[in-house]
């Protein structure tokens, strides 16, 4: 089993594993309509959500976390280790996918940017991944800015590539960065 990359401090955020006592708060903002506007699934089943979060500490591939500011949970971050496209001989456990959800009252304060940087640091510096991707709705310029500020490059604009539960087909952006790019951006001069 791979050890957890948490805890970690990034900017004002303290990133850590979720506790059972966090789950109701996480669920409240995950199912908030203000948050769900850009989520493909506009709500999640509370029981399934609880089960997924409680399974994180024993997972070899899910390194999701919560972000706190001054002891208050303000966001959740997702970091999944994934295998590539099934190409013969491709090394396993070298790629990751990140995502984040920020509590509505904490948006616009750099929380998402710090969280994205923390997820990338965990992926590259602590888990040793080679490549990390992230996606966002093309109609969500704030999320696109977060990913770009974190050092990711836009690799794709998918036209009607995602099915949104309420909006139907929507455009999406795919972002990525490589470990060598991350380390070049964050190495001492």
Whether the per-residue pLDDT at 5 is higher than 70: the answer is yes
Residues making up the chain, counted from first to last: 189
Give pLDDT tens digits for 95-152: 999 999 999 989 889 999 999 999 999 999 999 999 999 999 999 999 999 999 999 9
In the sheet where 72-82 sits, what is the strand order?
8-10, 13-16, 65-69, 72-82, 95-102, 131-137, 168-178, 153-164
Query: Residue 83's pLDDT is what?
Result: 80
Mean pLDDT of the chain: 92
Whether the per-residue pLDDT at 2 is higher than 90: the answer is no
Query: Residue 72's pLDDT is what?
Result: 94
Taken in order 86, 127, 150, 117, the sign of the CA dihedral is: positive
Helix or strand run (H / E) with residue 46: helix 46-55
Whether the per-residue pLDDT at 1 is higher than 70: the answer is no
Is CATH 3.40.630.30 the classification given to domain 8-186? yes
Instruction: Please list the residues that pair with 172 across neighbouring strands.
Output: 137, 158
Cis, peptide link before residue 64, omega less than 30° from 0? no
pLDDT tier for residue 189 given thresholds of 50, 70 and 90? low
């Amino acid at each position: 089993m791979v050890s957890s990359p948490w805890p970690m401090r990034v900017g004002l955020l303290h990133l850590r594993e979720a506790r059972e006592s966090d789950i109701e708060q996480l669920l409240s903002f995950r199912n908030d309509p203000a948050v769900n506007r850009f989520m493909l699934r506009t709500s999640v089943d509370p029981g399934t959500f609880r089960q997924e979060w409680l399974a994180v500490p024993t997972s070899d591939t899910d390194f999701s976390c919560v972000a706190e500011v001054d002891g208050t949970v303000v966001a959740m971050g997702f970091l999944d280790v994934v295998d590539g496209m099934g190409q013969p001989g491709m090394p396993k456990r070298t790629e990751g996918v990140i995502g984040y959800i920020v509590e509505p009252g904490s948006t616009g304060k750099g929380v998402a940017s710090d969280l994205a940087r923390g997820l990338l640091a965990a992926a590259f510096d602590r888990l040793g991944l080679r490549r990390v991707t992230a996606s966002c709705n093309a109609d969500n310029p704030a999320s696109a800015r977060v990913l770009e500020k974190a050092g990711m490059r836009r690799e794709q604009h998918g036209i009607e590539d995602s099915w949104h539960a309420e909006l139907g087909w929507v455009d999406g952006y795919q972002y990525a960065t490589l470990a060598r790019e991350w380390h070049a951006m964050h190495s001492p001069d």
